[in-house]
Amino acid sequence: MDKVREAEFHCRQARLKHALRLAEDRPLAVDLLARAELVILSQQLASKSDKSQADQDLLDTIHKMIPDRQWDPVAFAESLSAVERKQVVIEAQERIHTLEECDYAQNEFVIAYWTQVIRMLKIISIPGFRQGIVPAVLEELDKLMTGKNVRDLEELQAQVKKLVVDNKPEFAADPEYWNQVALLIEFSLSRKVVLDFHSEAFRDLDLSRFRLSSFERIILPPLKLEQPSSVVQKKDPNAVLLALVNEALDEDEEIFDSEVVLEDQDPGLIKPQYMNRVQLAVEWTSYNQAHYDKDNPPPKIPFGYKFHVFYPELNASKTPTYALEKDPEDPWSKILRFKAGPPYQDIAFRISGLEWEMSHRRGFNSKFDRKILYLYFNLKQLKYRR
């Protein structure tokens, strides 16, 4: 099998998996987001005069699913848990890779869709997204972006980016506001691409070819901007949020949200927002060398962390602290607790119990700057890491 035929085979199999789960009413989150792609594909296959048997089988399977043109992909994405969003991002990246290998030119429109699905999910995953800005201003921004097409949003994005890069007086006067605006524009742009793709897929669709539902599927409510609490409505240091969401994860890096529930916290205080990452590697111990090899490596383990914890309401005279505590549930782990005092609750995460590298030359960094606590550290060097 040559490379082109092999790529086409993998592309068809990926789509068939989506279609089968949808047809059997057992879809994963990524399958529901792939439904519009399958509808477009069904129209292409239906008009193809020289369909292979594999093409026909795929088309027949797609026609067994329920198209549901009223479904809102953006509202669905917002309803997903952090774990589900992370999984969809991984699977969407795999879809893009498969589509590029198959035929980039033919799949460019679909690749753009999945790219914006990933961007939208990453922005939604930012702790406190849409918070830290007063409702009246938030409503004004929503009105500004509603109804704009992709070109309008791209022009608006370019204007705001120029304002930020050139450090114009407007930006210097209120950087938190303009960074929040930039983030909202980026989300609106991704949302527009995703919704346009969905609308295009279902335009003039012949529903008679598809299985119809004898019941109404649950339709998620339309997108609504969250109303932040009165305490969080003040300015929030979102500049770093925009930088973090635009910063691609390294190959050995993942979003880290292994938060520990603290029972001793005052529910009337604010829970800090955060954006954390963990770096992963393989440890080639004697056991692993005996039972694994380069082609079949052992599971990766943490070897470094990057914590960003946000305290926009903290008094200027206070500095947050952190401390390691024993983990009552796992002797091989530690609890890393961040503490700032009122108006904030403590927040804690379960991390590896290995010793830290405390040298700046080996990656350690701890500082509190512009109401953000940064803590970067690597674990003691792992032997035989490949």
Summarize the confidence of residues 225-229 as an average pLDDT: 32
What integer best gives the mean pLDDT of the chain? Answer: 79
pLDDT (0 to 100) of residue 327: 92
**pLDDT higher than threshold 60 for residue 217:** no
Q: How far apart are the first and last CA of the chain?
A: 32
**pLDDT higher than threshold 60 for residue 246:** no
Mind listing the pLDDT tens digit for each residue in 138-177? Answer: 777 777 787 788 888 888 888 888 877 777 777 666 677 7
Query: Using 50, 70 and 90 to split pLDDT, how confident is the model at 252?
Result: confident
**pLDDT higher than threshold 90 for residue 325:** yes
Pick the more confident residue, 170 or 316: 316
| 160-166, long-range: CB < 8 A, 24+ apart | 160/185
Which residues on adjacent β-strands are paired with residue 375?
A: 307, 366
The 3-state DSSP class for residue 375 equals strand
Contact (CB, 8 A) for 123 and 130? no
- Spacing of C-alpha 141 from chain mean position: 22
pLDDT (0 to 100) of residue 99: 86
Q: Which two tokens stand for residue 323?
A: 């401390």
Select, from the ranges 9-18, 44-53, 212-221, 321-330, the one with the highest average predicted confidence (pLDDT).
321-330
Q: What is the DSSP string of 156-197?
A: HHHHHHHHHHTT-HHHHH-HHHHHHHHHHHHHHHHHHHHHHH
Q: What is the DSSP string of 116-149?
A: HHHHHHHHHTSTTTT-SS-HHHHHHHHHHHTT--
Can you tell me the distance from the alpha carbon of 100 to that of 94, in angstroms, rounded to the nearest whole number?
A: 10
Summarize the confidence of residues 294-316 as an average pLDDT: 86
Can you tell me the distance from the alpha carbon of 185 to that of 91, in angstroms, rounded to the nearest whole number?
A: 25
Query: Using 50, 70 and 90 to split pLDDT, how confident is the model at 211?
Result: low
Can you tell me the distance from the alpha carbon of 80 to that of 297, in angstroms, rounded to the nearest whole number?
A: 31
Query: CA 259 → CA 118, 174, 365, distances in Å?
Result: 23, 32, 21
Give the count of beta carbons closer than 10 Å to the beta carbon of residue 70: 9
pLDDT (0 to 100) of residue 375: 94
Summarize the confidence of residues 17-44 as an average pLDDT: 88
Summarize the confidence of residues 12-22 as an average pLDDT: 88
pLDDT (0 to 100) of residue 7: 78
- The mean-pLDDT minimum among 35-39, 197-201, 287-291 falls in 287-291
Question: Among 121, 184, 123, 186, which residue's Cα sits nearest to residue 150?
Answer: 186
- Spacing of C-alpha 38 from chain mean position: 23
- The mean-pLDDT minimum among 112-121, 128-137, 281-290, 315-324 falls in 128-137
Pick the more confident residue, 94 or 202: 94
Q: Reduced to 3 DSSP states, what percent helix, strand and coil does the chain have, rounded to the nearest 5?
A: 45, 15, 40
Can you tell me the distance from the alpha carbon of 73 to that of 180, in angstroms, rounded to the nearest whole number?
A: 23
pLDDT (0 to 100) of residue 50: 84
pLDDT (0 to 100) of residue 380: 81
Convert 251-278 to b/e letters by CB count within 10 Å (16 or more is b).
Answer: eeebbbbeebeeeeeeeeebbbbbbbbb
pLDDT (0 to 100) of residue 105: 59
- The mean-pLDDT minimum among 157-161, 203-207, 293-297, 373-377 falls in 203-207
The 3-state DSSP class for residue 249 equals coil
- Residue 296 corresponds to which amino acid? N
Which residues on adjacent β-strands are paired with residue 255?
A: 277
Dmax of the chain from CA atoms? 74
Contact (CB, 8 A) for 127 and 310? yes
Contact (CB, 8 A) for 294 and 386? yes
Pick the more confident residue, 197 or 2: 197
Summarize the confidence of residues 308-331 as an average pLDDT: 90
Q: Which two tokens stand for residue 205?
A: 């669709």
Can you tell me the distance from the alpha carbon of 263 to that of 283, in angstroms, rounded to the nearest whole number?
A: 35
**pLDDT higher than threshold 90 for residue 336:** yes
**pLDDT higher than threshold 60 for residue 234:** no
Summarize the confidence of residues 222-247 as an average pLDDT: 42
Mind listing the pLDDT tens digit for each residue in 368-385? Answer: 987 889 999 998 864 544
Give the rounded percent of residues in the chain with a pLDDT score beyond 70. Answer: 81
The 3-state DSSP class for residue 189 equals helix
Query: Using 50, 70 and 90 to split pLDDT, how confident is the model at 83?
Result: confident
**pLDDT higher than threshold 50 for residue 209:** yes
Q: How many CA atoms lie within 13 A of 285 on its CB side?
A: 6
Query: Using 50, 70 and 90 to split pLDDT, how confident is the model at 235?
Result: very low
Q: How many CA atoms lie within 13 A of 56 on its CB side?
A: 5
